[in-house]
A and B are shown apart, each in its own frame.
Chain A
């Protein structure tokens, strides 16, 4: 529609600009909070402001906002506690927002699952946590590609990495093998070894009942003229494709 009507084009541009402004505001630098309360409280407040949750090093409960968006300000009483684990899944964080968290040198676990603005530049900035980060979850982030995953080589203490459902990575199983070579002590989850592979038999035809795990549901390809057979381990929704 916006190719035919200038008004529609203007509305579209406007809404895009408003969205990008919202992301910018969510990732602004909390300089005033840092100066007034210290870097730890600023980082904690920033995580809560985005809608995430965190856990301090010396405490065992997670601090997060309730369903109405309200959170307690108890973290103001402990200005010296650094953050150990952060869960920022499904928030609007991007590489600018990391400015507020880079001060937490004891960060052990970070989860940015399902964040639409986490891209390769975000991963490139994670090198500051090279001495402390042990768990990282970047699954379901649509903007991450292999070029960003290579930046994870600086995280030498990484022990668990979750790279499931990365739309930008075209060969997940190969990338998993390469990541395991790059970080030998790290356990990489989320990409099966046979993911993305289509098996052929000697005639070059698709094998009977080849199972392909796609991101949303399994696909069963069965040869023409026969009935699809369901393996006992698979249940739920399937997409049936008949090979010609």
Chain B
């Protein structure tokens, strides 16, 4: 309180100053009450907040899509506080950025077809959804080329049935005979091919990194909290429920989620109401941290999340005489696939390994022998121009492989009352990400699916041991 020297006017000015001081004291006292973010001890700045309404474990394209849709659907500003926890901000081993980036509607399950169509609708209008003020418009570099599946004699009937389902749900697909194939794609060897299914519209490939960044930028502009840290533990409460048969089941409820800072032993227990497990290849580990699947309490064994990483190789090859601009994303009945990359005669190719010969998942090293033995013979048989190609590069990425039936697991876990699962996509996560984000947000905020009914992907099919398998030709 300073006196103004030599002035005796405005005694009220001094009183106003005092009132301003009292107001500041009152506001500070209100902020110091529990329930706000203020704390008297200045800790590390990049710790996550003490409490969050919804914590999304995993910052891949699914995690950020869910975060965006949660913020989009909240009715009140700052209605939900969403925190996304990502272990590796360089995304060096994330499935999202290592993906080939294709999107197709040629599935046999109607839920997958609907998810793909909804996602492609989202991407068509992506600038209306994800545009942020003062930033560049989003360019997904979408190549509208279509997928071409080739079927042999034994699997042609599956392709025909799938064609009917796909047409019924609005996918623009057409069937081609070997003669039409030869006329359309003269570089293709139609030996052994009886039928082909070609996507006319809404299929192709795009840049996964742009989509991830678009979601992330928009979600952060809407107020999603972001934390660079690793989830190392949970604090849960347990309650008991009795089933119809009289068994007593212990249901857990997550109270705190421990987020550990990188290269440090510091961790922050974040108090949360809902956890969304979108951790991709590490979802199984996250679920195990809660204690399910350990087989100790009252037959928990059947409840573990059957998601594990599977390594897949992608090889970049250069062939100047290869197929031109019209080359689709071709998938042969032997499992080999290839697609064009850029305009310089480069292609991306690969193959799915047999179940018994799954490569080692401890690192992302590429096995070039696999190309020589499993990819090149089939590739050069199908496209003779590829006999003279040169491998210019390769990388490996993980699928979050659902060992039960290779389809997504979306929904609440039966033994954890507040953990939602959005994982197990087995290679289709990127193409379904916008629609899955919307579905999970509806599940969390509206209590049920509103746009696409994904109840077929619920966890209970694993408990009842009723797999829903994609009937594809590969």
Taken together as a complex, chains A and B put the C-alpha atoms of A174 and B133 apart, in Å, by 35
A-B interface contact total, Cβ < 8 Å:
55
A147: nearest chain-B partner, CB-CB: B143
B134 to chain A, nearest CB (A): 6
Question: Are the C-beta atoms of B324 and A178 separated by less than 8 Å?
Answer: yes
Q: Please, which residues of chain B bring their CB within 8 A of the CB of A181? A: 324-325
Question: Are the C-beta atoms of B145 and A178 separated by less than 8 Å?
Answer: no
Q: Please, which residues of chain B bring their CB within 8 A of the CB of A120? A: 142, 144
Interface presence of B202 (CB below 8 A): yes
Taken together as a complex, chains A and B put the C-alpha atoms of A120 and B127 apart, in Å, by 14
Q: Please, which residues of chain B bring their CB within 8 A of the CB of A3? A: 134
Question: Are the C-beta atoms of A171 and B343 separated by less than 8 Å?
Answer: yes
Taken together as a complex, chains A and B put the C-alpha atoms of A95 and B202 apart, in Å, by 12
A166 to chain B, nearest CB (A): 14
Taken together as a complex, chains A and B put the C-alpha atoms of A36 and B304 apart, in Å, by 58
Question: Are the C-beta atoms of A145 and B326 separated by less than 8 Å?
Answer: no
Question: Are the C-beta atoms of B141 and A127 separated by less than 8 Å?
Answer: no
Taken together as a complex, chains A and B put the C-alpha atoms of A13 and B143 apart, in Å, by 30
Taken together as a complex, chains A and B put the C-alpha atoms of A182 and B187 apart, in Å, by 12
Taken together as a complex, chains A and B put the C-alpha atoms of A127 and B201 apart, in Å, by 8
Q: Would A150 and B343 be within 8 Å (CB), given that A2-B134, A12-B133, A124-B202 are in contact? A: no
Contact of B144 among A9, A124, A179 (CB under 8 A): A124
Interface presence of B200 (CB below 8 A): yes
Interface of B is mostly: loop
Interface presence of B23 (CB below 8 A): no
A102 to chain B, nearest CB (A): 11
Q: Please, which residues of chain B bring their CB within 8 A of the CB of A20? A: 128
Question: Are the C-beta atoms of B144 and A148 separated by less than 8 Å?
Answer: yes
Task: Report the contact-size class of chain A (Cβ under 8 Å from the partner).
Answer: 20 to 34
Q: Please, which residues of chain B bring their CB within 8 A of the CB of A174? A: 343
Contact of A175 among B128, B142, B343 (CB under 8 A): B343
Interface of A is mostly: helix
B134: nearest chain-A partner, CB-CB: A3
Interface presence of B72 (CB below 8 A): no
Question: Are the C-beta atoms of A150 and B201 separated by less than 8 Å?
Answer: no
B415 to chain A, nearest CB (A): 44
Taken together as a complex, chains A and B put the C-alpha atoms of A171 and B325 apart, in Å, by 14
Question: Are the C-beta atoms of B141 and A145 separated by less than 8 Å?
Answer: yes
Question: Are the C-beta atoms of A127 and B200 separated by less than 8 Å?
Answer: yes
Interface presence of A154 (CB below 8 A): yes
Interface presence of A123 (CB below 8 A): yes
Interface residues in A123-174 (C-beta closer than 8 Å to B): 123-125, 127, 145-151, 153-154, 171, 174
B342: nearest chain-A partner, CB-CB: A146
Q: Please, which residues of chain A bring their CB within 8 A of the CB of B200? A: 127, 154
Q: Would A153 and B326 be within 8 Å (CB), given that A124-B202, A125-B201 are in contact? A: yes
| Further contacts, 9 of them, CB under 8 A, given A13-B133, A20-B128, A145-B141 | A3-B134, A12-B133, A121-B144, A124-B144, A145-B139, A148-B144, A150-B325, A150-B326, A182-B324
Q: Which residues of B contact A (CB under 8 A)?
A: 124, 128, 133-134, 139, 141-145, 172, 200-202, 204, 324-326, 343
22 A-B residue contacts at CB 8 Å? A9-B133, A120-B144, A121-B144, A124-B144, A124-B201, A124-B202, A145-B141, A146-B343, A147-B142, A147-B143, A150-B325, A151-B201, A153-B325, A154-B200, A174-B343, A178-B324, A178-B325, A178-B343, A181-B324, A181-B325, A182-B324, A182-B326
Q: Which residues of A contact B (CB under 8 A)?
A: 2-3, 9, 12-13, 20, 95, 120-121, 123-125, 127, 145-151, 153-154, 171, 174-175, 178-179, 181-182
